[in-house]
A and B are shown apart, each in its own frame.
Chain A
Amino acid sequence: MSTKKWIGLALVALALLALPLVLTSVGTAWVRITNLAILFIFLALGLNIVVGMAGLLDLGYIAFFAVGAYVYALLASPHFGLHLPFWVILPLGALFAGMAGAILGAPTLRLRGDYLAIVTLGFGEIVRIFLNNLSQPFNITNGPKGITRIDGLNIAGMDFVNTHTLFGIPFTGPAKYYYVLLILLLLVIVVNLRLQKSRIGRAWVAIREDELAAKAAGINTRNMKLLAFAMGATFGGIAGGMFSAMQGFVSPESFILHESILVLAMVVLGGMGNVWGVIAGAMLLSFVPELLRYTVDPVQQMLFGKLLIDPEVLRMLIFGGALVLTMRFRPAGLWPESRHKLEMSENRS
C-alpha cells in the first residue's frame, strides 16, 4: 500500500474513533442511533452472504437476530437467575443462531426464488410466535412481556452503564458500546471480504448464477447452501447478543417481518454481493429515517407555522419514495458488486 493510502486509512480510523465523542456533544441519542446502525450493518452483511452471494432469498432473517438476542437475554438476566459472562454467551448465541440457520436451510434445499422466500417468511414468523407463546406451560421467554434487566457488557471489571473518565475525556455507556461494536464490525467485514474471495465464496456465487451447472462442476450444493444459511445466521446471532446487552430488554415485538424486510432492503439498495455497498445501504436506511425524525417537525413548523403531517407518516413516505427512485435509476444498487458493473459496460472484445 502506498503512503497516501495509509494516511487515508489513518484518517478514517481517527474519525471513527472520535465519532462518539463528537456525537455525545450533540446528544447521547445519536450515539445510540449509531450503535443501532452498526448492528444493522452486521445484519445486512450476514444476509448478504445468503442473498447476495448464494442467491437464496431469505425473508425471515430477523429470526436469527431474535435467537441471538434471546440466548443472551436468558443467560444474563434475573429471569433464570443466570449471569454468565458475555464472552461465553455471545459465541453461544452465534452458535445457536447458526444451528437455527442450518435447520431452516435443510428443508428448503430444493426451493428457490419465490418459494424459498415464502418458506423463510414463515420461519421468521414461527420463531417470533414461539417467543410470544413460550411462557407456558413453562415460562421460558416470558411471552409478549419480554425479558427485562438484562446484564450489560462488563469487560475487565468495567461496566457499560456508567460514564468513565479516561485522560480527562468522559466515555458514556453508549460510547463504550460503540467501540466494542466497531471492533466486532471490523472482524465481520474482514470475514465477509475473505469469504468472498475464497473457494467457498466462489462456490456460493456459482450456485447463485446456475445451480445445475454448479452441481455438474463438482460443487456439493447441499452443503454449500447449508453453510451459507448457517454463516449468515451466525452474524445475525452475534448482532442479536449485542442488541440484548445494549438495550437491556428484549421482547418478540422487536423481531417482526418489517425488520427482515428492512435488512433485505439494505442489501438490495446498497448493491447485492458487494460488502461496501451493503454497508452503505445499511447506514443510509438506518440514518436517513432518524434524520427525518428530527427535521420533519421543525421544517413544517417553520414553513406552515404548524404541524400538518405527522412526522412518522411523512418519514415512511419519503423513505419509500427514495427506495422506489433508487431501484428505478440504479437497479443494481447504489454501489453494485464489481461483477455487475462489468456487466453494464460494453463488451470490450
Chain B
Amino acid sequence: MSVVLLEARNIGKRFGGVQALKDVSLTIRAQEIYGLIGPNGAGKTTFFNVMTGLYPRDGGEVLFGGVPLELDTPYLVAQAGIARTFQNIRLFGNMTAIENVMVGRHVRTHAGVFGAILRTPGQRAEEAAIRRRAEELLHYVGIPHRANDLARNLSYGDQRRLEIARALATEPQLLALDEPAAGMNATETVALRKLIEGLRADGLTVLLIEHDVKLVMGLCDRVAVLDYGEKIAEDVPGVVQKDPKVIEAYLGAGGD
C-alpha cells in the first residue's frame, strides 16, 4: 500500500500576474484513492492540466513510478500510464460511444498506414481486439447499450461514464478524475462511487478532484487541500476536516 506511484515536486504555474500554483508537492501511493479539494479557483484543475502535460509548467517536476514524466508531450504522459477525464466533459461528440473508447486504445496499439491500407492479418487481429476491449469497457462502466450512439446524444451521466471508459482504454495505472460527480443527481453519484471503488479493487490508483465534500470524505484514503495555489493540508480525511487552516479556507476567518 505504501509504494509511491506519483510524486509531484514543487510544481509552479503562473498565468500572467496570477500565481495559479505555488510550489505544490504531493505524493500519491499506489492503489489509493487520493482526493484533491479546495475552494473555487484554488488551482485544482490547473494542477491536473500541468500534471498531464496540457499546460506548460513554470517549475517543478512529476515523478511517476520513480521516473520523471515528459510533461512537454501529453501523449507520452498517457503512454506512461496516466489517464484523465475533464471537468467539462470532452468527448469526441460526432463519434459513436464505442469509437470514443476505441480511440483510447490508440496509445497501446500499433497499426500504421500500410497495415490499414493492406488490411494485413496483424492489423485485422489488432482491430478486432480493439473493438472487443472497447465493448468490455463500455460494459464495465455500464453503458453497453449505447455503443452505437453518438457521444453527443448520450445523457450527462452516460457521458461521464463514457469519458471514464475512454480513459480506461489507455490502460492507466493512475486515473485522474476532474469533478466526476459535478451535475450528477444522488442516484448517479452513488453509482459513480461504486464505479470508483470497483476501479481501486481492480488495482487502479485514483486521483479525484471533487466539490462534493461528502463524496470525497467518504471515498478517499487521503486528501490534499489547495488554497490560492498552495497546498495547505494533506492527510487522511478525518484529520483534514478538523484542520483549522482548511476550515478557514472554506468558511473564511472565524471570530470577527
Given A203-B106, A205-B92, A217-B83; 15 other pairs, CB 8 A cutoff: A190-B117, A194-B116, A194-B119, A198-B123, A199-B111, A200-B113, A206-B95, A213-B90, A213-B91, A215-B74, A218-B79, A220-B73, A221-B75, A339-B150, A342-B153
Minimum Cβ distance to chain A for residue B147 (Å): 13
Of B96-104, B185-193, B241-249, the segment with at least 4 beta carbons within 8 Å of chain A is: B96-104
A210 touches B155 (CB 8 A): no
Question: Judging by beta carbons under 8 Å apart, are B153 and A210 in contact?
Answer: no
A190–B118 alpha-carbon span in the complex (Å): 10
Q: How distant is A201 from chain B, measured CB to nearest CB, in Å?
A: 7
Neighbouring B residues of A339 by C-beta, 8 Å: 94-96, 150
The reply on B166 being an interface residue by CB < 8 A is yes
Return the 9 tightest CB-CB contacts between A and B, nearest first. Answer: A218-B107, A218-B78, A198-B116, A209-B92, A213-B90, A215-B74, A206-B103, A347-B153, A220-B75
Residues of chain B within 8 A (CB-CB) of A303 are: none
Could you tell me the distance between the alpha carbons of A202 and B107 in the complex, rounded to whole angstroms? 12
A216:B149 contact, CB within 8 angstroms:
no
Q: How many A-B residue pairs have CB under 8 A?
A: 119
Residues of B within 8 A of A347 (CB): 153
A-chain residues with CB within 8 Å of residue B75 when the two chains form the complex: 215, 218-221
Residues of A within 8 A of B95 (CB): 202, 205-206, 209, 339
Chain A residues near B (Cβ < 8 Å): 190-191, 194-195, 198-203, 205-206, 209-210, 212-221, 227, 231, 339-340, 342-343, 347-349
Q: Report yes or no: B111 in contact with A200, Cβ–Cβ below 8 A.
A: yes
CB-CB nearest in chain A for B110: A199
**Which of B73, B91, B126, B150 contacts A342, CB < 8 Å?**
B150
13 cross-chain CB contacts under 8 A: A199-B127, A202-B106, A203-B106, A205-B94, A210-B91, A213-B92, A216-B52, A216-B84, A217-B167, A218-B107, A219-B106, A343-B94, A349-B146
Q: Mark B105-137, 1 if CB is under 8 A from A, else 0.
A: 111110111011101000100110010000000
In contact, A212 and B78 (Cβ under 8 angstroms): no
Complex-state Cα separation, A190 to B91, whole angstroms:
29
Chain A residues in 8 Å Cβ range of B108:
218
B93's partner among A190, A198, A209 (CB-CB below 8 A) is A209
Is B153's CB under 8 angstroms from A348's CB?
yes
Contacts of A218 in B (CB 8 A): 75, 78-79, 83, 104, 106-108, 170
| A197 → B minimal CB distance (Å) | 8
Closest Cβ neighbor of A187 among chain B residues: B117
Q: Is there an interface contact between A202 and B112, defined as CB atoms closer than 8 Å? A: no
Known: A199-B106, A199-B127, A209-B92. A216 touches B78 (CB 8 A): yes
Flag if B153 contacts A200 (CB, 8 Å): no
Chain B residues numbered 51-99 whose CB sits less than 8 Å from any CB in chain A: 52-54, 73-75, 78-79, 83-84, 86, 90-96, 99
Nearest opposing residue in chain A for B101, CB measure: A217
CA distance A214 to B93 in the complex (A): 12
Q: In the docked arrangement, what's the CA distance between A347 and B93, Å? A: 13
Query: Is the Cβ of A213 less than 8 Å from the Cβ of B86?
Result: yes
Residue of B nearest to A337 (CB): B94
B111 touches A198 (CB 8 A): yes
Expressed in whole angstroms, the Cα–Cα distance for A340 and B105 within the complex equals 23
Report whether B107 and A219 are in contact in the complex, using a CB–CB cutoff of 8 Å.
yes
Residues of B contacting A213 with CB < 8 Å? Answer: 86, 90-92
Find the B residue at minimum CB distance from A341. Answer: B150
> Once the chains are docked, how many angstroms separate the CA of A201 from the CA of B113?
9
Q: Give the Cβ gap from B238 to chain A, nearest Cβ, in Å.
A: 33
